C-alpha cells in the first residue's frame, strides 16, 4: 500500500512539472509573437534622439597691416607674420578658406582635424607683398577683406604697390586669387568710417527702408567691384570695426552672404548642417605687441562660443 502511494506521488510531481514546462513555453511563445507584431519604428526614437550633430572648433585670426617700420595693435612685422604661420603649423593647425568651412557645413567637403581661418582686413597691399611669399613657402592660405573704395582710390591715383601705404588693386586681387593662396571677403565699399555712421551701424531716427537701402547699395557696389577684378563674388562679410546692428544680419543674409565675421574674440563652434553657426563668427585680433606664443595660447585655450 505504501509503495502505491509513493509511486502515485512521484507520478503526480512529474505531471505537475510537465504542466509547468508546457505553460512556460506557451507564455514565451505568446510574448515573442506580441513583440514581433509591434512595428520597429516604435523602438527607433531612442536611437534617433541620441544622434550627435557633427561640429568643429574653429579659431579665426584677424590681421591688418604688415609693416617692418613699427608694431601696433593692428600692425605686425614681416617676421612676426612668418613666426605666426610657422607656429600655426607646428601646433597642428591647418589653414582653410571660409569657403571650405561653408562647404563643410553644407556637407560638400571634409575639413582637417584642427582648422584655422587666417583673415586680413581692409585690403592693404602689404598683405600680398609680404603675405603671399611667406604663405607660398609654408603652404598656408588666407583671406583678405578689402574696403573696395580704398582699392578704387589706389587705382585712380595710380600710386600703387607701395607696402607702406597702398591698397590692393583690381589686377592684384585677380593675381592673388589665381595664386590659389588668397580668397576674398566683403568689408563694404565706403562704410569703413566713424562718421556719419559707425561702420554699418544704424543712425538715430533712420527708417527701416532707408537703412536697408543704404547698406544694400553700398555692399552691392563692393560686390560689383570683385566682379570687375575677376574674382569670385564673396560669400563672407566682415563687419567694419566689428560693429553690427540687430537688423544688419538679415540684410546681409538677404544679399547672399553665408558667413559673417565679427571682432568678438572667441573660438567658434561650427556645426554641419547648421548654417546659423556661421552667422556670428568671432575673431582674435593679432595685436603686434603680443608674442606668437601668446597668440597660440588664445587660439587654443580662448573662450569657446557654443
pLDDT of residue 2: 46
DSSP string, 110-124: ---SSEEEEEEEE-B
In this predicted model, which residue has the larger pLDDT, 130 or 36? 130
pLDDT band for position 236 (cuts 50, 70, 90): very high
pLDDT of residue 6: 46
Rounded Cα distance, 174 and 226, in Å: 9
Tell me the average pLDDT across 162-168.
97
**How many CA atoms does the CB half-sphere of 184 hold within 13 Å?**
32
Residue 219 has pLDDT above 70, yes or no: yes
Rounded Cα distance, 180 and 95, in Å: 13
User: How many C-beta atoms lie closer than 10 Å to residue 185's C-beta?
Assistant: 24
pLDDT in tens, 28-79: 444 444 434 434 333 232 333 334 559 999 999 999 999 999 999 999 999 9
Question: Is 143 buried (19+), middle (13-18) or exposed (0-12) by CB count in 10 A?
Answer: buried
pLDDT band for position 280 (cuts 50, 70, 90): very high
Query: Looking at the chain, which runs of residues are DSSP E strands?
Result: 55-58, 60-63, 65-66, 75-76, 94-95, 115-122, 142-146, 182-184, 236-238, 259-261, 267-271, 284-285, 304-305
Residue where the block lists cell 601646433: 91
Please state the pTM of the whole predicted model.
0.83
**Residue length of the chain:** 306
| Residue whose C-alpha is closest to residue 98's, from 66, 128, 62, 138 | 62
pLDDT of residue 18: 52
Question: Is 20 buried (19+), middle (13-18) or exposed (0-12) by CB count in 10 A?
Answer: exposed
pLDDT of residue 23: 54
SS3 259: strand
pLDDT of residue 52: 52
SS3 239: coil
Rounded Cα distance, 63 and 73, in Å: 10
**Average pLDDT for the chain:** 88
pLDDT of residue 17: 54
Rounded Cα distance, 268 and 115, in Å: 11
Residue where the block lists cell 532707408: 210
Q: What is the DSSP letter of 204?
A: T
Rounded Cα distance, 182 and 119, in Å: 10
In this predicted model, which residue has the larger pLDDT, 285 or 28? 285
Amino acid at each position: 500500500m505504501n509503495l502505491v502511494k509513493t509511486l502515485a506521488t512521484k507520478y503526480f510531481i512529474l505531471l505537475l512539472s510537465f504542466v509547468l514546462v508546457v505553460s512556460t513555453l506557451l507564455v514565451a511563445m505568446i510574448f515573442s509573437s506580441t513583440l514581433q507584431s509591434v512595428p520597429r519604428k516604435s523602438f527607433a526614437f531612442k536611437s534617433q534622439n541620441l544622434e550627435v550633430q557633427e561640429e568643429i572648433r574653429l579659431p579665426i585670426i584677424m590681421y591688418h597691416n604688415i609693416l617692418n617700420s613699427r608694431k601696433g595693435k593692428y600692425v605686425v612685422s614681416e617676421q612676426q607674420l612668418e613666426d605666426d604661420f610657422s607656429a600655426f603649423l607646428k601646433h597642428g593647425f591647418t589653414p582653410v578658406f571660409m569657403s571650405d568651412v561653408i562647404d563643410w557645413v553644407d556637407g560638400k567637403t571634409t575639413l582637417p582635424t584642427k582648422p584655422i581661418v587666417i583673415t586680413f582686413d581692409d585690403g592693404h597691399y602689404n598683405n600680398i607683398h609680404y603675405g603671399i611669399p611667406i604663405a607660398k613657402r609654408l603652404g598656408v592660405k588666407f583671406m583678405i577683406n578689402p574696403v573696395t573704395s580704398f582699392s578704387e582710390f589706389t587705382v585712380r591715383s595710380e600710386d600703387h604697390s607701395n607696402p607702406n601705404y597702398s591698397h590692393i588693386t583690381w589686377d592684384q586681387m585677380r593675381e592673388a586669387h589665381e595664386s590659389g593662396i588668397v580668397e576674398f571677403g566683403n568689408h563694404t565699399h565706403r562704410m569703413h568710417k566713424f562718421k556719419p555712421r559707425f561702420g554699418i551701424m544704424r543712425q538715430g531716427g533712420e527708417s527701416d527702408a532707408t537703412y536697408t537701402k543704404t547698406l544694400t547699395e553700398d555692399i552691392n557696389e563692393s560686390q560689383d567691384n570683385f566682379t570687375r577684378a575677376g574674382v569670385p563674388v564673396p560669400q563672407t562679410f566682415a563687419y567694419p570695426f566689428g560693429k553690427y546692428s540687430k537688423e544688419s544680419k538679415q540684410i546681409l543674409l538677404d544679399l547672399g552672404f553665408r558667413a559673417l565675421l565679427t571682432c568678438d574674440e572667441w573660438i567658434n563652434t561650427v556645426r554641419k548642417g547648421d548654417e546659423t553657426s556661421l552667422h556670428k563668427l568671432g575673431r582674435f585680433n593679432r595685436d603686434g605687441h603680443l608674442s606668437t606664443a601668446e597668440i597660440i595660447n588664445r587660439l587654443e585655450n580662448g573662450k569657446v562660443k557654443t
